[in-house]
Structure 1
Amino acid sequence: MPKLAASLDIITLTDTPECAAQLLEAAKTLGFVYITMAGTEITPEAVDEMFKISKQFFASPESEKASCVISANNKGWSGMLSETLDPPNQKRGDFKQAMNFGEFTQSGEPQQPITPTLSPHLPTIAHFSTLCANVSRRLLRLFAQALSISASAGGAEYFTASHTSTNGPSGSILRLLYYPPISSGDYDPSSDIRAGAHSDYGSLTLLFQHDGASGLEILSPGGGWSPVPVVSEAICVNIGDLLSYWTAGLLRSTVHRVVAPGDQAGERYSMAYFCHPVDSTPLGGIPSEIVRKRGERGANIEDEEVLTAARHLKSRLAATYGWNS
């Protein structure tokens, strides 16, 4: 029986209470929503240019990519099978490669090793990362508005200071992703997967996909996997574990995965921007009556030690890569 496609809202961002309410409702139900590029600074042309850079990088020799292999700071290149997003249920790692860019300096310089193939494109990559950060902060403003955080506590700007790079380093990452073609000799569909079932770690994620490059599935609230259709000239946004924890579970961090549908066994490219707060941000209770009514859960539990954003991320990465936490 074919799977029923997930029905995600498609929203054009406006700085209005109505848009804030729409986003909150989507985040409370599926935890996934599409926003049109038309409502952002990000253009389809900028996305296409980034995909061209991504293809050049992943086509470069493995020895070159290995010169910036990923480390415990979550920056660099990860090869095939090196990341395991669903350790309890995977016999081996994900069938994908990835390149993680951490935050750039104010002058646009990377704070990590970069390969010769990528070096000429650093201004483009840095600018795209900045655009993603701007969109993320705009979304967070709308969420803060929808949560009715009082002006005395920060109001619509409640989250922005903790998501601004000038206020300190964070775990925010721009990630290029490449899923090679599936061949019968390498891939066992009964046990292998392109990206294992997982939820994202940070505040929220912006996902960019090629038209027709399907494979993303979300775990529906009632159980079962639902494919997420690719929407042209739109960005798929999902809530991460940190923001869900911070809002006492009000905003849903939904489990998702990437599979290789029968008609999509060829190569697949995507890009994701993982937005995280500044490392030192304490994840204490949010001054919102809507969140307080959730009771003692997540960041609302007052007798537990208050987590910082850095500690939250470190524990999640340790589980994914097998690093010591």
Structure 2
Amino acid sequence: MHKESTAVRPAPTLPLIDVAALRDGDAAARHAVGRQLRDACETRGFFYIRNHGIAPELIDRAFDEAERFFDQPMDDKLALNKALSRCNRGYEPLRAQTLERDAPPDLKEGFYIGQDLTEDDPRVRAGKFNHGPNMWPEGLPGFRSTMEAYFTEVFALGEVLMRGLALSLDLPEHHFRPFLADAMATLRLLHYPPQPPNPSPGEKGCGAHTDFGSLTLLMQDDSGGLQVWDAASSGWIDAPPVPGTYVVNIGDLIARWTNGRYRSTLHRVINVSGRERHSIPFFLTGNPDHVVECLPTCLAPGELPLHPPITVEQHLAECYRRTYA
């Protein structure tokens, strides 16, 4: 376990990677991006990406609709309470989740969106974890269509990045295609009120944690507040918003898959901006039935896997049990 320092260091900074070549570059250019991803994943587990291909207008609309949702009366939000959903969809009130052990509950409210599956879908009937229908607000025209369009675009970007990760690991570019087929993913709208002047000991917008799945693609507003643990300096560094970029980080599933070669890094949010903060993370998880076991390119001669094989569904269900206990 790390030992926290009291200061947040302004340096070093996170890598910034241009990913345009992963979509339309030649083989040499795609492999060059793969090498940058490898360095970022081995040293930080966090990086910015630019030239991601998602229209700024769609991103702006997603933020506008998220703000409209959280600005609603509490009764309207609670009508979509996630507690009413069997598949973790809908509204999550303030302090409903505790991501940092032995810390107060997180000072944030959220709204969960996933693949919108009907009750008669075979995966829903089979009781697959986190599979089912979304919950949508009434009286917010444009909310659903905007979020569904944004979900589709960011999912496609996640697929592009997974191709880059395959190259970074000396694997065929489409190695992760079976993992991405019928993949689980979650779009989460988050609202952080300003940090209280006199917070409870350890109270934060979002406690220190690593993410559960494979990749997280975060779009944040201009309030700042995201901090990433830097093992080299044993301190927290800021990951401020950079116009035109996403913040991307590796989750626990990729760390497990790579035998710890790629880092799933602790991060947290403390909203000291004095105003409301909004962010929209997208969590790409994977096909629930896909078995994750150590990749052959991540084992040195004579080295053994650190973890036994596990399905994506088993891994995710255990992570949820830990943070909602």
Q: What TM-score do the two structures reach when normalised by structure 1? A: 0.85
**2:26 aligned partner:** none
Correspondence 1:192-207 to 2 at 5 A:
192-207=203-218
> What is the CA–CA distance in structure 1 between the aligned matches of 2:314 and 2:293, rounded to whole Å?
13
Percent of residue pairs bearing the same amino acid type = 29
Alignment pair present for 1:79 and 2:93: yes
Q: Equivalent residue for 1:157? A: 174
Contact 2:80 2:135 in 1 (8 A): yes
Contact 2:291–2:312 (8 Å) recurs in 1: yes
Q: Find the residue that maps to 1:145 and give its secondary structure.
A: helix
Q: Work out whether 1:267 is the aligned partner of 2:276.
A: yes
- What are the equivalent positions in structure 2 for 1:161-200 lying under 5 Å apart? 161-165=178-182, 170=184, 172-184=185-197, 188=199, 190-200=201-211
- Please tell me whether the aligned partners of residues 193 and 276 of structure 2 are also in contact (alpha carbons under 8 angstroms): yes
Distance 2:111 2:52 in 1: 24
1:23 aligned to 2:37? yes
* 1:33-44 to 2 correspondences below 5 Å: 33-36=47-50, 39-44=51-56
Equivalent AA in structure 2 for residue 49 of structure 1: R
Amino acid at match of 1:160: R
Once residues 244 and 203 of structure 2 are traced to their aligned partners in structure 1, the CA distance between those partners, rounded to angstroms, is 31
Distance 2:17 2:318 in 1: 33
Aligned to 2:266: 255
Taking structure 1 as reference, are residues 73 and 5 closer, same or farther at Cα in structure 2, changes over 3 Å only? Answer: farther
Per-residue deviation, 1:118 = 4.6
Task: Return the alpha-carbon distance in structure 2 between the equivalents of residues 282 and 27 of structure 1.
Answer: 22
Q: Deviations over 1:175-228 (max 9, x none)?
A: 0000013343xx5164311100000000010000113x1111111112111111
Distance 1:242 1:227 in 2: 24
**1:101-152 deviation digits (Å, cap 9, x = unpaired):** 011359xxx8222121456321221111111111111111111112112xxx
Calculate the aligned-residue CA RMSD, in Å.
1.9
The number of equivalent residue pairs is 294
Q: Which amino acid in the other structure matches residue 163 of structure 2?
A: R
Residue 225 of structure 2 is aligned to residue 215 of structure 1: yes
Counterparts of 2:316 and 2:43, CA distance in 1: 24
Are 2:77 and 1:68 equivalent residues in the alignment?
A: no
Structure 1 alignment gaps of length 5 or more: 150-154
- Runs (5+) with no aligned partner, structure 2: 1-6, 23-29, 119-131
Equivalent residues in 2 for 1:1-325, closer than 5 Å: 3-13=9-19, 14-15=21-22, 16-36=30-50, 39-71=51-83, 73-88=87-102, 90=103, 92-104=104-116, 111-118=133-140, 120-149=142-171, 155-165=172-182, 170=184, 172-184=185-197, 188=199, 190-211=201-222, 213-222=223-232, 223-261=234-272, 264-288=273-297, 291-293=298-300, 295-299=303-307, 304=308, 306-322=309-325
Distance 1:292 1:207 in 2: 30
Q: State the 1:76 CA deviation.
A: 1.5
Indicate conservation of the 8 Å contact 2:229/2:267, yes or no.
yes
Moved over 3 A (4+): 117-120
SS of 1:200's partner is coil
Aligned-pair CA distance for 1:46 = 1.1
TM-score, normalised by the number of residues in structure 2: 0.85
